[in-house]
């Protein structure tokens, strides 16, 4: 074995711990989420066994076993699927921020309702105006932001529906 193929003991241990952490993340998924992850049957069985365990030491040993199984496979696809489950899509985040900006713009200037309706004809202009007026009144009266949230929800729903229709 050449020197360039050697991996230090520290690095091997770190890789083993990383695989155990990945396995631990798999055991913490809900059943429906776990079912969507593509993985070898022996790994799926080991994860299911670990989920059924209640004793700390048994769980620790099972996580080591899961890590051992994962050492012999390419874990990148499993890690990528797990990451996709946990991270919200960039598109959803962008839509959420657009809805927040629209709400801020509409509250700052009620004339922006017309601009919003021009861009999104499915929006109910009268309801938007009513919610904006009520949200401003709520804020001035220092009441809980019920209409403020409702305005955001309505804008967000319009943007989400428009995004679904786009290719």
The three-state secondary structure class of 166 is coil
Report pLDDT for 93: 84
The fraction of the chain above a pLDDT of 90, given in percent, is: 53
Predicted confidence (pLDDT) per residue in 121-141, tens digit: 989 999 999 999 999 999 999
Out of 34, 59, 86, a domain closes at: 86
Report pLDDT for 8: 87
Out of 56, 86, 116, a domain closes at: 86
Does one domain contain both 67 and 134? no
pLDDT tier, 151 (very low <50, low <70, confident <90, very high otherwise): very high
Report pLDDT for 55: 95
Average pLDDT value for the chain? 88
pLDDT tier, 41 (very low <50, low <70, confident <90, very high otherwise): very high
Report pLDDT for 6: 78
Residue with structure tokens 């396995």?
Answer: 23
Return d(Cα 159, Cα 167) in angstroms, integer.
14
CATH number, domain with residue 18:
1.10.60.30
Does one domain contain both 38 and 72? yes
Q: DSSP per residue over 40-109, as a string?
A: -HHHHHHHHHHHH--SHHHHHHHHHHHHHHHHTS--HHHHHHHHHHHSPPHHHHHHHHHHHHHHHHHHH-
Q: Is the pLDDT of residue 103 over 70?
A: yes
Report pLDDT for 85: 80
Return d(Cα 40, Cα 32) in angstroms, integer.
17
Q: Is the pLDDT of residue 89 over 70?
A: no
Q: Is the pLDDT of residue 3 over 60?
A: no
Query: Who wins on pLDDT, 63 or 86?
Result: 63
How many distinct structural domains can be found in the chain? 2
Mean pLDDT in residue range 10-30: 89
Q: Measure the CA angle with vertex 159, ends 129 and 151; round to 5°.
A: 30
Mean pLDDT in residue range 68-81: 89
**Greatest CA separation for the chain:** 76
Of 17, 1, 150, nearest to 9 by C-alpha is 17
Q: Do the domain assignments include residue 1?
A: no
């Amino acid at each position: 074995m050449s020197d360039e193929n050697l991996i230090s003991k520290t690095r091997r241990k770190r890789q083993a711990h990383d695989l155990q952490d990945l396995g631990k993340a798999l055991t913490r998924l809900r059943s429906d989420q776990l079912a969507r992850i593509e993985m070898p049957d022996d790994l799926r069985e080991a994860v299911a066994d670990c989920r059924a365990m209640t004793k700390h030491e048994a769980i620790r040993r099972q996580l080591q076993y899961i890590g051992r199984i994962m050492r012999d496979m390419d874990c990148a696809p499993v890690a990528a699927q797990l990451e996709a489950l946990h991270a919200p899509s960039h598109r959803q985040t962008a839509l959420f921020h657009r809805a927040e900006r629209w709400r801020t713009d509409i509250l700052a200037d009620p004339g922006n309702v017309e601009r919003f309706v021009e861009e999104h004809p499915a929006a109910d202009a009268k309801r938007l105006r009513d919610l904006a007026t009520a949200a401003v009144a709520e804020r001035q009266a220092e009441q809980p932001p019920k209409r403020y949230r409702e305005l955001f929800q309505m804008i967000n729903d319009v943007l989400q529906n428009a995004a679904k229709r786009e290719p």
